[in-house]
């Protein structure tokens, strides 16, 4: 019982991280119909930016503890957002309107570039980070096993919910949000009505990158070690989450993220750790085949 | 000029933002075991300077190009137009004669074998992606199936290469159908992601199912190829290749044999593809790529058409895998990562519009280029990715800008890329 | 006139929206039947139900073919096409990157595939395929000539002007040797001279033995060549009669009120 509860906590906090990345996928897909293959690597960039910022702050003795984390978040979001913007401008915008394969190959190219850029610039070895926040709340004890809700996990859950709340307000209440939704429905019409579609799309990418950056910071705090390859796996899983929840649906992305996090955690706890990635991939395949619009997605009727 | 400077300045500012932390401060293991930061702001300045100049040059060049009359055929296009018909025969002749050309040694032949392997893989995937328009991001799975099938069959049953080869192909084709079946209704990007997932699932299984596949250690000691039963042994004994042909035993014999073997396999792939293109099946593939709904309205069974594309593409991938296994004598899951699928897909897309010649040239350029940059080591993949992006942005339809019809009442005229649909799903 | 196609109580619902409600009529062999109605009446939806792109929520679609009566409502689209029902599309769906000739050859895919001996035989050059292809090219020639496109045979379909693309789509549909040809707004965007040519083409197709079912807005074409007119409004059938009767039907006029051409209402008044 305690073991299961611990897995539940772990799964939820992992799921939140996936959810944050998944929202980025779903936003971009919603607005330009493209799967941003490099989005997972943007998450990885966010993690690295956070690491460097963290080291910078603590080495300079400037700050330590939770206030530092806030500053790290801000720096990381700014830098990663810039990466998101740059990638869209360089690799995707010139191909908008081109046929399907070109942006996909371009995205794969960017993914390779980002991974290898970090590998060259920072070295290929895994980078450990000292625990900035440690300790947690003991929830339950069963024999030798203690169920713990760490402060980091509380932070992850609270921060993710806060960020998503801000984000939902952004999409539903602001002018930018309306512009995004208009572009999602009908880009040409939106532009005819005076919406600057290029800017809206750029901002969508930036926001997606910002969310992925927060996920990267959280990942760093939670797992304490990162390397240049975490983007690929996290990316596929987050994309699975987005699809599972229904691509184009923001609450769906979060829901999907939670489900994937829980499934992955419970699978490795009760079955086998080696095949946990296969579990995620298999869910992706099964979802797309049997439930192509996902759990909360819109039913699309083919117009002939 | 002012506008160009401004563009360049903005680009440099963006570059600064991108690089100041990630390049400027390198994380390194410190003395206490934790990470420390080493500053490299000089590199950052250099990069920003490069970006500035690069962007400036680009802006100036673009301004100059706009002054020239747009739409006028460039000299490059005219040149390639005239060379076009000569290119394919020239390449074929070079490929056939390569081992005998002066200056071609063992390492050049090895490179040739590598390039031809990718050409064959490209031609195989071309059936699925280029002709049928099915975005397959997991092609490496069939390559792996072929390799492992050959390795296991040869080791456990002692069958010769010539029997194992078709078996490997059939097995791969079977997997092609198996993997193709669930994805029949998927379109475009979704199809790509699911095929990617399949490829990864197979790789993880290969790594973990140690009893069958040897796990991460792979399978070694795969039987080397023989010249139709005559072993290439160095001893020159009775019954070996060297003895029968009265030659001095040399390691290059086997290499040359392998070279011609992959050349034949690749040419087989090419021949079958060219034949099928002229037949209803090939035309149905291309029609499916253009517009699936129209195909359905004409009574074409898309399930059979798609599965045949998957199966045939997979079969040639399997053949290539079997060849790979016999050439290396050792295989492990490391050789069958997603990056391989991405490279092969990039070759096909770079080739353009299902063109066989385009794919061949793309493979030569990309794989050959990749090998040539060997000294650059860790920069290689970075440059490779960058080149992929650059080529897509500059020539989204690939190198070959036209499609040649398969039949005509009069003369067959090339169709420009602007009209050809691709991967609409 | 014996029917070629019979609809009984066909209904199509998309979630809460009923696009087609309880439509029943029969299209006759050797006749041209037109389906008309204001925009949004459900005409293309009905077409899609007949040709298998949608599965009707209720009702039956029966093809009275050479092989007996075939219910179509449960068949997938390509089977319906194989059964002898060909169609064209409102937004032309040609294979733009392939030549006109290639387009017509693809229409004969099934017949040609049968002649290739599972594909392998033809690759090896051992089958009846070359002869079959020659025959198919001849058939393509015939229809290219009939639609006055013979000189464009080797041009990419996407490069043809609009009117020729429409005709090519019809030629391609005819190459499947259908018993029933379903046309979705074949006269859309055609000028009067082209509409005349289209009307002639349709009459010739009819004379050659293929019944025609068409959706159309151009009343000149409809009134001139149709033997029967079915009128849809908001998914229901409000009239099913000869062109003259339909033109004078007050319900039909009411349905079109405010959307009619000046010429059409003048013609209606003069009738």
- Concatenated DSSP letters for C177-219? --SEEEEESTTTT--HHHHHHHHHHHHHHHHTT-EEEEE---H
Put simply, the chain C residues between 124 and 143 with a CB less than 8 A from any chain B CB are 129, 133, 137, 141
Residues of chain B positioned with their CB less than 8 A from the CB of C105: 280, 283, 407
Pairwise CB contact (< 8 Å): A99 & B424: yes
Instruction: Tell me the ipTM for this assembly.
Output: 0.88
Of B403, B408, B416, the CB nearest to C154: B408
String of DSSP letters for A49-63: HHHHHHHHHHHTTS-
Residues of chain C positioned with their CB less than 8 A from the CB of B298: 78, 81, 86, 106-107, 109, 172-173, 176
Pairwise CB contact (< 8 Å): B297 & C81: yes
The C-alpha torsion from C24 through C167 and C79 to C18, rounded to 10°, is -40
Report angle CA B280, C76, A33 to the nearest 5 degrees.
80
- Candidates B303, C196, B195, B407; CA nearest to A104 is B195
Residues of chain C positioned with their CB less than 8 A from the CB of A301: 14
Q: Between β-strands C236-241 and C228-233, what pairing exists: parallel, antiparallel or unpaired?
A: antiparallel
C89 in contact with A at a CB cutoff of 8 Å? Answer: yes
For chain B, list residues with pLDDT below 50: 423-425
Average pLDDT of span A233-238 = 88
φ, ψ dihedrals at B354, nearest 5°? 70, 15
Buried b (16+ CB within 10 A) or exposed e, C184-204: bbbbbebeeebbeebbebbee
Predicted structure pTM score: 0.87
**Looking at chain C, how many residues does it have?**
271
What is the average pLDDT value for chain A, to the nearest integer?
Answer: 85
B183 in contact with A at a CB cutoff of 8 Å? Answer: yes
The SS3 of residue B230 is strand
Going by the DSSP 8-state scheme, the letter that residue B130 receives in this structure is I
Mutate to test the interface with A, among B359, B381, B385 (most CBs of A within 10 A): B385
Cβ contacts below 8 Å, chain B against chain C, sum to 135
Average pLDDT of span C191-195 = 89
Q: C3 forms bridges with which residues in the sheet? A: C28
C95 in contact with A at a CB cutoff of 8 Å? Answer: no
Pairwise CB contact (< 8 Å): C89 & A299: no
Chain A residue closest in CA terms to B297: A304
Pairwise CB contact (< 8 Å): B409 & C159: no
Residues of chain C positioned with their CB less than 8 A from the CB of A304: 44, 48, 53-54, 89
pLDDT at C157: 92
Instruction: Report the distance separating Cα B298 and Cα C111, nearest Å.
Output: 12
Q: Sign of torsion, CA A92 A94 A98 A102?
A: negative
The SS3 of residue B423 is coil
Put simply, the chain B residues between 346 and 385 with a CB less than 8 A from any chain A CB are 346, 349, 378-379, 381-382, 384-385
The SS3 of residue B68 is coil
Task: Pick from A50-64, B56-70, C99-113 the range whose average pLDDT is largest.
Answer: C99-113
Q: Measured between alpha carbons, how far is residue B12 from residues B21, B148, C229 in Å?
A: 15, 49, 69
Q: For the segment A100-149, what is each residue's pLDDT rounded down to a tens digit?
A: 778 888 999 999 999 999 988 888 888 888 777 777 777 777 777 777 78
Of A104, A122, A277, the CB nearest to B192: A104
Chain A residue closest in CA terms to C89: A304
- Quick one: tokens of A98? 């081109």
Pairwise CB contact (< 8 Å): C14 & A302: no
Between helices B356-363 and B106-125, what is the axis angle to 10°? 140
Chain C residue closest in CA terms to B273: C123
User: Which residue matches tokens 């006759």?
Assistant: C28
Instruction: Report the distance separating Cα A161 and Cα B336, nearest Å.
Output: 39
Average pLDDT of span A284-291 = 81
Pairwise CB contact (< 8 Å): C15 & A304: no
Q: Sign of torsion, CA A174 A180 A182 A187?
A: positive
Instruction: Report the distance separating Cα B329 and Cα B416, nearest Å.
Output: 45
Enumerate the domain spans of chain B.
2-67, 83-416
Is residue B232 within 8 A of residue B257, CB to CB? The reply is yes
Confidence class for position C107, pLDDT limits 50, 70, 90: very high
Pairwise CB contact (< 8 Å): B420 & C51: no
pLDDT at C271: 47
Pairwise CB contact (< 8 Å): A299 & C53: no
**Residue ranges of domains in chain C, CATH in brackets:** 1-84+178-271 (3.40.50.300), 94-177 (no CATH)
Which of A12-26, B105-119, C39-53, C116-130 has the lowest average pLDDT? C116-130
- For A2-290, CATH gives 1.10.3470
pLDDT at residue A19 tops 90: yes
Is residue B241 within 8 A of residue B226, CB to CB? The reply is yes
User: Which residue matches tokens 């039947």?
Assistant: C33
Mutate to test the interface with C, among A293, A301, A304 (most CBs of C within 10 A): A304
Instruction: Report the distance separating Cα B140 and Cα B144, nearest Å.
Output: 6
Q: For the segment B203-218, what is each residue's pLDDT rounded down to a tens digit?
A: 888 888 888 877 888 8
Residues of chain C positioned with their CB less than 8 A from the CB of A299: 15
Instruction: Report the distance separating Cα B225 and Cα B163, nearest Å.
Output: 12
pLDDT at residue C97 tops 70: yes
Q: For the segment B259-312, what is each residue's pLDDT rounded down to a tens digit?
A: 989 999 999 999 999 989 988 999 999 999 999 999 999 999 999 999 999 999
Residues of chain A positioned with their CB less than 8 A from the CB of C14: 301
Mutate to test the interface with C, among B288, B298, B397 (most CBs of C within 10 A): B298
| Contact residues for B419 (Cβ-Cβ < 8 A; gap 6+) | C96, C97, C156, C157, C158, C159
Q: C229, exposed or middle or buried, with CB in 10 Å at 0-12, 13-18, 19+?
A: buried
Q: For the segment C203-250, what is each residue's pLDDT rounded down to a tens digit?
A: 999 999 999 999 988 888 888 889 999 999 998 999 998 998 988 888
Q: How many helices (H) and strands (E) does chain C have?
A: 12, 10
- Quick one: tokens of B414? 């090339």
> Which H or E run includes C19?
strand C17-28
Q: How many helices (H) and strands (E) does chain A have?
A: 11, 4
Q: Give the residue, C111 or B32, on which the prediction is more confident.
A: C111
Put simply, the chain C residues between 1 and 20 with a CB less than 8 A from any chain B CB are none
B277 in contact with C at a CB cutoff of 8 Å? Answer: no
C78 in contact with B at a CB cutoff of 8 Å? Answer: yes
Instruction: Report the distance separating Cα B361 and Cα C252, nearest Å.
Output: 64
Phi-psi region of A33 (alpha: psi -120 to 50; beta: other; left: phi over 0): left
pLDDT at residue A283 tops 60: yes
pLDDT at residue A81 tops 70: yes
C14 in contact with A at a CB cutoff of 8 Å? Answer: yes
Q: Measured between alpha carbons, how far is residue B391 from residues B46, B384, B386 in Å?
A: 25, 11, 9
Put simply, the chain A residues between 138 and 157 with a CB less than 8 A from any chain B CB are none
The SS3 of residue C148 is coil
Pairwise CB contact (< 8 Å): C14 & A304: no
The SS3 of residue B55 is helix
Is residue C49 within 8 A of residue C24, CB to CB? The reply is no
- Determine the distance in angstroms separating the CA of B168 from the nearest CA of chain A, rounded to an integer: 25
- Quick one: tokens of C159? 């490069």
Phi-psi region of A65 (alpha: psi -120 to 50; beta: other; left: phi over 0): left
Going by the DSSP 8-state scheme, the letter that residue C151 receives in this structure is G
**Looking at chain B, how many residues does it have?**
425
Pairwise CB contact (< 8 Å): C81 & B420: no
Instruction: Report the distance separating Cα B171 and Cα B146, nearest Å.
Output: 7
pLDDT at A88: 93
Q: C64 forms bridges with which residues in the sheet? A: C69
String of DSSP letters for A60-99: TTS--THHHHHHHHHHHHHHHHHHHHHHIIIIIGGGTTS-
CB atoms within 10 A of CB A174: 11
Alpha helix ranges (H) inside B278-377: 280-290, 292-297, 302-328, 338-351, 356-363, 369-372
Q: C87 forms bridges with which residues in the sheet? A: C182
Instruction: Using CB atoms, list chains with 3+ pairs below 8 Å to chain C.
Output: A, B
- Range B83-416 has CATH code 1.10.260: no
- Determine the distance in angstroms separating the CA of B353 from the nearest CA of chain C, rounded to an integer: 10
pLDDT at B71: 53
Average pLDDT of span C257-271 = 53
Buried b (16+ CB within 10 A) or exposed e, C23-38: bebbbbbebbbbbbbb
pLDDT at B425: 35
Of C14, C15, C53, the CB nearest to A304: C53
Phi-psi region of A206 (alpha: psi -120 to 50; beta: other; left: phi over 0): alpha
């Amino acid at each position: 019982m305690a073991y299961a509860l611990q897995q539940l906590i772990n799964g939820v906090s992992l799921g939140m991280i996936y959810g944050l990345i998944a929202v980025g996928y779903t936003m971009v897909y919603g607005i330009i119909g493209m799967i941003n293959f490099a989005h997972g690597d943007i998450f990885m960039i966010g993690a690295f930016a956070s690491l460097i910022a963290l080291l910078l702050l603590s080495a300079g003795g400037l700050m330590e503890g939770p206030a530092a984390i806030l500053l790290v978040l801000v720096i990381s979001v700014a830098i990663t957002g810039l990466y998101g913007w740059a990638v869209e401008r360089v690799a995707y915008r010139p191909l908008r309107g081109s046929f399907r394969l070109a942006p996909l190959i371009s995205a794969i190219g960017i993914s390779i570039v980002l991974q290898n850029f970090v590998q060259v610039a920072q070295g290929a070895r895994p980078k450990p980070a000292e625990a900035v926040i440690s300790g947690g709340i003991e929830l339950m004890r069963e024999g030798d096993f203690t169920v713990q809700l760490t402060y980091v996990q509380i932070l992850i859950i609270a921060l993710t919910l806060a960020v998503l709340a801000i984000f939902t307000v952004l999409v539903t209440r602001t002018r930018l949000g309306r512009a995004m939704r208009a572009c999602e429905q009908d880009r040409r019409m939106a532009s005819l009505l005076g919406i600057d579609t290029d800017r809206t799309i750029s901002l969508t990418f930036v926001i997606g990158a910002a969310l992925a950056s927060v996920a990267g910071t959280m990942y760093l705090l939670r797992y304490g070690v990162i390397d240049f390859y975490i983007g690929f796996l996290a990316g596929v899983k987050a994309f699975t989450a987005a699809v599972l929840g229904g691509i184009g649906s923001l609450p769906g992305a979060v829901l999907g993220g939670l489900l994937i996090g829980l499934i992955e955690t419970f699978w490795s706890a009760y079955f086998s750790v080696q095949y946990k990635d296969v579990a995620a991939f298999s869910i992706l395949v099964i979802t797309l085949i049997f439930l192509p619009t996902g759990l909360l997605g819109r039913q699309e009727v083919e117009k002939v | 000029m002012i506008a160009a400077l401004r563009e360049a300045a903005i680009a440099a500012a963006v570059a600064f933002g991108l690089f100041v932390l990630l390049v400027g401060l390198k994380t390194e293991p410190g003395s206490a075991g934790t990470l420390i930061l080493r500053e490299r702001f000089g590199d950052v300045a250099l990069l920003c300077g490069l970006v500035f100049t690069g962007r400036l040059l680009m802006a100036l060049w673009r301004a100059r190009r706009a002054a020239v009359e747009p739409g006028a055929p460039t000299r490059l296009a005219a040149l390639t137009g005239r060379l076009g018909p000569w290119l394919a025969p020239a390449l074929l002749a070079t490929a056939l004669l390569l081992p005998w050309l002066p200056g071609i040694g063992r390492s050049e032949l090895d490179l040739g074998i590598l390039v031809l392997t990718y050409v064959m893989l490209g031609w195989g995937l071309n059936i699925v992606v280029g002709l049928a328009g099915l975005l397959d991001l997991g092609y490496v799975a069939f390559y792996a199936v072929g390799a492992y099938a050959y390795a296991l069959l040869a080791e456990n049953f002692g069958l010769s290469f010539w029997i194992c080869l078709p078996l490997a192909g059939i097995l791969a084709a079977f997997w092609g159908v198996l993997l193709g079946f669930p994805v029949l209704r998927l379109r475009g990007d979704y199809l790509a992601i699911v095929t990617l997932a399949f490829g990864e699932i197979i790789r993880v299984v290969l790594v973990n199912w140690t009893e069958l596949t040897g796990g991460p250690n792979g399978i070694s000691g795969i039987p080397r190829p023989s010249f139709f039963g005559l072993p290439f042994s160095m001893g020159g004994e009775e019954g070996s290749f060297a003895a029968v042909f009265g030659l001095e035993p040399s390691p290059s014999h086997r290499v040359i044999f392998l070279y011609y073997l992959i050349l034949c396999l690749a040419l087989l792939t090419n021949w079958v593809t060219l034949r099928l293109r002229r037949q209803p099946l090939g035309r149905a593939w291309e029609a499916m790529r253009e517009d699936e709904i129209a195909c359905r309205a004409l009574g074409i069974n898309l399930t059979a058409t798609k599965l045949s594309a998957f199966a045939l593409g997979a079969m040639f991938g399997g053949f290539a895998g079997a060849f790979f296994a016999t050439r290396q004598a050792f295989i492990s899951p490391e050789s069958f990562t997603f990056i391989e699928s991405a490279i092969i897909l990039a070759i096909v897309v770079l080739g353009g519009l299902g063109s066989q010649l385009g794919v061949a040239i793309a493979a030569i350029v990309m794989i050959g280029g990749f090998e040539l940059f060997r000294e650059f080591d860790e920069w290689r993949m970075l440059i490779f990715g960058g080149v992929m992006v650059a080529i897509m942005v500059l020539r989204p339809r690939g190198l070959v800008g036209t499609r040649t019809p398969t039949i005509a009442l009069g003369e067959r005229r090339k169709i420009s890329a602007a009209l050809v649909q691709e991967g609409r799903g | 006139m014996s029917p070629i196609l019979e609809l009984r109580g066909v209904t199509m619902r998309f979630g809460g929206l009923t696009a087609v409600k309880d439509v029943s009529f029969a299209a006759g062999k050797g006749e041209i039947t037109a389906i008309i109605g204001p925009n949004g009446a459900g005409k293309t939806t009905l077409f899609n139900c007949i040709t298998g792109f949608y599965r009707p929520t209720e009702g039956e679609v029966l093809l009275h073919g050479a092989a007996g009566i075939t219910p179509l409502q449960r068949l997938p689209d390509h089977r319906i096409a194989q059964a002898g029902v060909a169609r064209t599309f409102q937004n032309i769906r040609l294979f733009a990157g392939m030549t006109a000739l290639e387009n017509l050859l693809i229409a004969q895919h099934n017949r040609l595939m049968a002649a290739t001996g599972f594909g392998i035989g033809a690759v090896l050059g051992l089958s009846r395929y070359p002869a079959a292809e020659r025959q198919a090219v001849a058939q393509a020639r015939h229809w290219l000539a009939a639609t006055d496109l013979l000189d464009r045979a080797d041009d990419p379909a996407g490069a043809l002007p609009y009117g020729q693309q429409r005709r090519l789509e019809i030629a391609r549909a005819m190459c499947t040797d259908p018993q029933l040809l379903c046309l979705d707004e074949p006269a859309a965007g055609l000028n009067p001279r082209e509409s005349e040519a289209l009307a002639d083409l349709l009459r010739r197709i009819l004379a050659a033995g293929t019944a025609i079912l068409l959706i159309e807005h151009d009343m000149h074409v409809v009134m001139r060549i149709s033997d029967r007119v079915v009128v849809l409004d908001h998914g229901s059938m409000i009239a099913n009669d000869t062109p003259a009767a339909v033109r004078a039907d007050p319900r039909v006029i009411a349905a079109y009120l405010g959307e009619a051409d000046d010429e059409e209402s003048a013609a209606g008044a003069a009738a």
